Amino acid sequence: MKKRVLVVLFLFLISLSTSYSQDSEATINLPPDKNTIKISLLEKETKKPIANAIVILSIIIKQKEHSFEVITNNQGEFVINSFGEDQIFMTLKTDLLETPGKDYYGDYVFENGLINDVEIELFKVGSIKGLVLDNLDNLVNNAEMKFDCTNNLGENYPRTTDKFGSFNYEYSPIGNCRVFANFNDGAGFLDVIVGHGQISQIEVKLDKSIINYKRKISLWPLIVFILIAGASIFLITNKKEAKFEKNKIETKPHLSQPGNRTNDIMRTLDFKEQNVVKYLMEKNCRITQNEISREVGIPKTSLIRVIENLEKKHIIDVEKIGKFKKLELTN
């Protein structure tokens, strides 16, 4: 009799332990609240419950992340402790055992915490797995990736291939996707149709080249401007020099050989004045003051007085051109 009582008691304890274990699988113990809430997962398009699914649940509270894995019941529900009235960020990744790929995905924000039962609708997703190959069919690691899909209702796509040259976009939006890959100057893309809960196996070959057309500032307008400006300056300078030379060689009807009147005038002049007049008669054209000083050998300070005296005696005419003075014999 005593044995029978012990056996019954043992079986009761096993039953109680099993019951507790089954209940704990569907409950997440988050800090800290006395109440529990029920979360129901529904398919976005059909509103059908997502039953018997493995759910990877990520909850961020006050910048601290909590990650859990739960299984929904036949009604697509699971229970967690209610918590907080702070803003909560929640990500749900859902996988059905009967499909090869991933099945549902959703991102949600709860502004005032999770304190009441809630229904959450998830989007259908699929999976894309693949390799990136170069023209020689070598695997390319660290290739840059881009996924251009019909919508962006899945998780963030992988940015690069791994060290084996492969990539895995587990929770990809369903529908049409164009997968791009790039490494150095090689690039390629492939179009794929992602099915709900399915895995699309692809290979992206880098069989195209990327030509980097950098915008260059054309130097031709600047070169043309410099040439035109240089030519203009050259022409203006030459024109002035030509005018100067023309004036320099312009002859006047002076006597190249002194006559009696000229000899009489010359006798009234001092030595320096005579040298200046003789030089002007020899050149028989307008001469600059600097040239006379250089050729006749009279210092500039002395030449100024000589020129003033000759001008007062009406023997020479003085023309000022800017900073220059040009001298010529009077008629």
The domain that contains 269 carries what CATH number? 1.10.10.10
Is the pLDDT higher at 311 or at 122?
122
- Predicted pLDDT at 33: 46
- Identity (one letter) of the amino acid at 128? I
Out of 181, 209, 237, pick the residue that ends a domain. 209
DSSP state of 137: -
Q: What is the mean pLDDT of the chain?
A: 80
Q: How far is Cα 9 from Cα 122, in angstroms, rounded to an integer?
A: 46
CATH number for the domain that contains residue 32: 2.60.40.1120
Contact between 45 and 125 (Cβ < 8 Å): no
pLDDT at 14 over 80: no
Q: Is residue 83 included in any domain, yes or no?
A: yes
Q: How many CA atoms lie within 13 A of 268 on its CB side?
A: 9
Q: Which H or E run includes 38?
A: strand 36-43
Identify whether residues 183 and 204 lie together within a single domain. Answer: yes
Residue 51 pLDDT: 96
Write down the pLDDT at residue 257. Answer: 54
pLDDT attached to residue 94: 96
Q: What are the CA-CA distances from residue 161 to residues 171, 182, 203 (Å)?
A: 16, 10, 12
- Top pLDDT among 236 and 131 is at 131
The total of structural domains in the chain comes to 3
| Prediction pTM value | 0.55
> Is residue 118 domain-shared with residue 45, that is, in the same domain?
yes
153 vs 174: CA distance, rounded Å = 9
Average pLDDT of the segment spanning 54-81: 90
- 41 and 78 both lie in a single domain: yes
214 found inside a domain: no
Mean pLDDT of 213-229: 76
pLDDT tens readout for residues 17-35: 333 333 334 444 444 445 7
Q: Is 235 inside a domain boundary?
A: no
The radius of gyration of the chain's CA atoms, rounded to the nearest angstrom, is: 52
Q: Do 161 and 189 have their domain in common?
A: yes
Do both 269 and 322 map to the same domain? Answer: yes
Condensed to tens digits (0 to 9), the pLDDT of residues 144-171 reads 999 999 888 889 999 999 999 999 999 9
Q: Are residues 36 and 115 in the same domain?
A: yes
Which pLDDT score, from 0 to 100, does residue 20 have?
35
Q: Which of the pair, 16 or 292, is modelled with greater confidence?
A: 292
- Answer whether residue 225 is part of any domain: no
Residues 106 and 146 reside in one and the same domain? no
> Alpha carbon of 271 to those of 12, 109, 114, 201: distances in Å?
150, 111, 120, 113
Per-residue pLDDT, averaged over 254-264, amounts to 63
Whether 240 is in a domain gets the answer no
Q: Is 4 a domain residue? A: no
Q: What does the pLDDT look like over 235-256, one tens digit per residue? A: 887 766 655 555 544 444 444 4
pLDDT computed for residue 245 by the predictor: 54
In a domain, 306, yes or no: yes
Please indicate, yes or no, whether residues 110 and 31 belong to a single structural domain of this protein: yes
Is 80 exceeded by the pLDDT of residue 203? yes
pLDDT the model gives residue 162: 96
Whether 37 and 97 map to the same domain: the answer is: yes
Q: Which two tokens stand for residue 217?
A: 């500032």
Going by pLDDT thresholds of 50, 70 and 90, the confidence category of residue 215 is low
Q: Do 96 and 165 lie in a common domain?
A: no
Q: Tell me if 216 is assigned to some domain.
A: no
Comparison of pLDDT for 279 and 96, the residue scoring more? 96
| 76-129: pLDDT as tens digits | 999 988 777 678 888 999 999 999 999 999 988 888 877 788 999 999 999 999
Clarify whether residues 170 and 120 are in a common domain: no
Overall average pLDDT of the 282-309 stretch: 80
Of 193, 209, 225, the position where a domain reaches its end is 209
Please give the residue range of the domain that contains residue 170: 126-209
Instruction: Indicate the pairing of strand 77-81 with strand 27-28.
Output: parallel
pLDDT at residue 13, rounded to an integer? 42
Q: Indicate if 32 and 119 belong to the same structural domain.
A: yes
pLDDT of amino acid 243: 58
Residue 137 has pLDDT above 80, yes or no: yes
**Residue at a domain's end among 124, 154, 180:** 124
Whether residue 4 has pLDDT greater than 50: no
User: In 3-state terms, what secondary structure has residue 75?
Assistant: coil
310 vs 273: CA distance, rounded Å:
7
Q: What percent of the chain has pLDDT over 70?
A: 80
Higher pLDDT, 59 or 217: 59
Which stretch of 7-11, 43-47, 161-165, 212-216 has the lowest confidence by average pLDDT? Answer: 7-11
Band the pLDDT of 266: cuts 50, 70, 90.
confident
